[in-house]
Amino acid sequence: MELYSSYISRLIGELSVLPGIGNKSAQRLAFHIINMPKDKVENLAGAMIEARNNIRYCKCCYTLTDSEICPVCADEKRDHTQIMVVENTRDMTAYEKTGKYEGVYHVLHGAINPSLGIGPGDIRLPDLIKRLQSVDAREVIIATNSSIEGETTAMYISKLIKPTGIKVTRIASGVPVGGELENIDEITLSRALDARVEL
């Protein structure tokens, strides 16, 4: 005999593929959702579908946004000659929250990771090189995570860009080694930006 109704089993199955959601959490969430008011469930499901359908990559910096050009790239007051390279949109948001950075971004959507077979061509790195050929960049600030993959990516980008004469900097090691950028407080992130060193 099926232990749960097929509707519940299916929902548990769908939920348990999400990151950080094991089978127990999926069960808990499924029963919570079944007990939620109908309109709340529709709101939740609708938010998922709408976000998935309306979010795309910014044509300029490749962050996730709902317009052709993201608000940061579209802002004429920002310094478009200073480009901060980050691993993902959440890291970009972490720096936006500091309110201290006035340049623009380039979102890689990943980091070089040979053990997972992720090479420079699998992230938005070729797009960065192409972008640097068409814009007048003064400085590229590398703000990848201080993990092994992030450091590898930083070194790789540095070696690629330095011959072009563009200044390449790396956010200071105020960021704890092994830490994830998105979990760090805004003051530490600000200090790491101020103390950036040329590579």
| Min CB(92)–a second copy separation in Å | 9
Q: Give CA–CA dist 115/113, Å, rounded.
A: 6
Size of the site for a second copy (CB under 8 A): 59
**Residue span 50-79 as binding mask against a second copy, x where in contact by CB under 8 A, dash where not:** xxxxxx--------xxxx---xx--x----
**Residue span 94-113 as binding mask against a second copy, x where in contact by CB under 8 A, dash where not:** --xx----------------
**If phi over 0 gives left and psi between -120 and 50 gives alpha, with beta otherwise, what is residue 101?**
beta
Question: Binding of a second copy at residue 89 (CB under 8 A)?
Answer: yes
| Min CB(160)–a second copy separation in Å | 26
Judge whether 100 and 122 are in contact, CB under 8 Å.
Answer: no
Site for a second copy in 17-46 (CB under 8 A): 18-21, 24-25, 27-34, 36, 38, 41-46
| Min CB(75)–a second copy separation in Å | 8
**Residue span 162-191 as binding mask against a second copy, x where in contact by CB under 8 A, dash where not:** --------------------xx--------
Q: Give CA–CA dist 11/6, Å, rounded.
A: 8
List contacts with a second copy (CB under 8 A): 1-8, 10-11, 13-15, 18-21, 24-25, 27-34, 36, 38, 41-55, 64-67, 71-72, 75, 88-90, 93, 96-97, 182-183
